[in-house]
Chains A and B, each alone.
Chain A
Amino acid sequence: MKVLKGSLAALALMALVALPAFAASANATTTVSITVAADAKISVCGATTTLSTAGAFADYLGSCVVTYSLRTTKVGGSGSITLAATTNWVAGAGGAGPVIGTDSFSFTTTANTGPGTSNNGSINAVLANQNVITAIGANAHANNASFSSNFDLVNSPSWETDTYTVPIRYTITSN
Chain B
Amino acid sequence: MRRVAAVLLFVAAGTHAARALASITLSVSANVSFPSANPNTTPVINGTGPVTATIFIVNPQREDITLTVQANGPTLVSGTDSIAIGNVGWNVGSAIWVHSIPPKNMAFWNPGNGPRALSTSPVTVITGNDGRAMTNADTVTGTVTNLFTFQNSWLYSTGTYTQTILWTLTAI
Contact = CB atoms under 8 A, between A and B. Distances in A.
Contacts of A31: 30-32, 162-165
B30 A30 contact: yes
Q: How many of chain A's residues touch chain B, expressed as a range?
A: 35 or more
Q: How many of chain B's residues touch chain A, expressed as a range?
A: 35 or more
Contacts of A29: 28, 72, 164-167
Interface in A66-97: 69-74, 77
A3 interface: yes
A30 B164 CA distance: 6
B8 A13 contact: yes
A7 B31 CA distance: 58
B19 A32 contact: no
A22 B19 contact: yes
B11 A14 contact: yes
B33 interface: yes
A142 B154 contact: yes
Interface in B113-160: 148, 150, 153-160
B20 A22 contact: yes
B110 interface: no
Interface in A124-149: 139, 141-143
A30 B172 contact: no
A30 B161 CA distance: 14
Given A30-B29, A41-B38, A142-B154, A19 B19 contact: yes
Interface string A15-58: 00001011111111111111111111100000000000000000
A32 B162 contact: yes
Interface of B is mostly: strand
Contacts of A23: 170-172
A30 B31 contact: yes
Nearest to B53: A28
Given A34-B34, A73-B158, A28 B164 contact: no
Given A26-B26, A34-B162, 5 more contacts: A27-B167, A27-B169, A32-B33, A32-B164, A143-B155
30 contacts: A3-B4, A10-B4, A11-B7, A14-B8, A14-B11, A22-B19, A22-B21, A28-B53, A30-B164, A30-B165, A32-B33, A32-B148, A33-B161, A34-B34, A34-B45, A34-B83, A34-B162, A36-B156, A36-B157, A36-B159, A36-B161, A39-B38, A39-B39, A39-B154, A41-B40, A69-B40, A71-B157, A73-B158, A139-B158, A141-B155
Interface of B: 1, 3-4, 7-8, 11, 15, 19-21, 24-41, 45, 51, 53, 55, 61, 63, 71-72, 76, 78, 81, 83, 88, 148, 150, 153-172
